[in-house]
Structure 1
Amino acid sequence: MPDYALEAAHGGLVAGIDEVGRGPLAGPVVAAAVAFTKPPSELLAALLDDSKKLTARRRKVAFAALMNAPDILIGIGAASVSEIEQINISQACYLAMRRALERLDPQPDLALVDGKHAPRLPCPLKMVIGGDGVSLSIAAASIVAKVTRDRLMERLAVRHAAYGWERNAGYGTAAHFQGLRTQGVTPHHRRAFAPIKNMIAAEAHAA
């Protein structure tokens, strides 16, 4: 379970940063930055873990607790499908992280970032491999980013019902591919990603 040791060891205002949506075939990438202005309560800390380890219901409970908690700063940033195609997915993830961090006021003294590849951020940073299972701030960021992106994909699914985005969040599931075969590619699909690029090329060749 993640704890508050890395944040406490630094002593200043520390933000955890994580992103969600690197792998889907559709939709933006979303990042969150979360900073506790004082150590989280035991009750709140008990709700937090790597978002991938939590059920959808537990994520929603944790998300609500974070959004309503005192003494917490939350910033959310995204990079659009067009930005993903223009600058590639890795750079788009970093862009979303910067945007999330820039929405924190005041800015943190240190950012703890999940992963091993360092983005360019406007503050000192420390990379933490497997950070969403180590740091409470990163775990909180992973939950905020995941729930935010899932809700965005659910809203898109209302207008694009054939792809199952309310269930698969844009990942390449069988239902998603079936929707692509029957309805084709939407403006929300990442045309630079191989499955979508290959489908577009095949359709152009057939025509």
Structure 2
Amino acid sequence: MWGERGVAANRLPAALTGERDHAKLTWQYDKFVVRFGSRCDTVDQGETHMPSPTRSRVLALAVIMVVPPIAILASIPWLRHQPDGLVFLLTGIAATLTVLASIALAVINDRQIDEWQRSNARFSSQWGWTVGAGMVALLLALPPVRDLIVSGAAVWGGTPNPDSRLVITTFTFGFMAVVITQAICTMLLSLGWHVWMSRDARDPS
């Protein structure tokens, strides 16, 4: 499906035919074939799915991802009477388990999809996050949405009449922290990926 290495190399643009560029592209081509060669072979043979991980592993990760938040929500009446340190500890543990399980599920799913599905996931995650963040910023300008946030804080926090300005300000700063952290992590990961993939093609590691 992918053709021989020599054929692919002969089709390279003239600007990339230098010894260093040729070695780098050859190294990247070999990595690509090692990673996706078996997938290409199964597609050529009419198969559409790679061997999936065991269902029990996926089920266990799904349980780890879903149960902790549900347990925290169900125990809110009890948590209201507990010290702040214990509340933050339990919620932090629940959030950590959920994040780690979701990352593991994402890795398992990524190993099963092909390049077309991977491009689809990349497009939806990139623009879905952008559109979602923009919608939250716009919704915060609507009084009914702000009233709903304040009402939710009153219910979940056990405070009958919370300061609406304080609640909205705290919510807004929390949202801004998430957006800024997402942007910083995206830049750092992009830089790290660029540095890693720009190593010398003859580097054996």
TM-based fold match above 0.5: no
Structure ID, larger Rg: 2
User: Could you say which structure has the greater relative contact order, defined with CA pairs below 8 angstroms and 6 or more residues apart?
Assistant: 1
TM-score range, shorter chain: under 0.3
Kindly indicate which of the two structures has a greater share of residues assigned to helix: 2
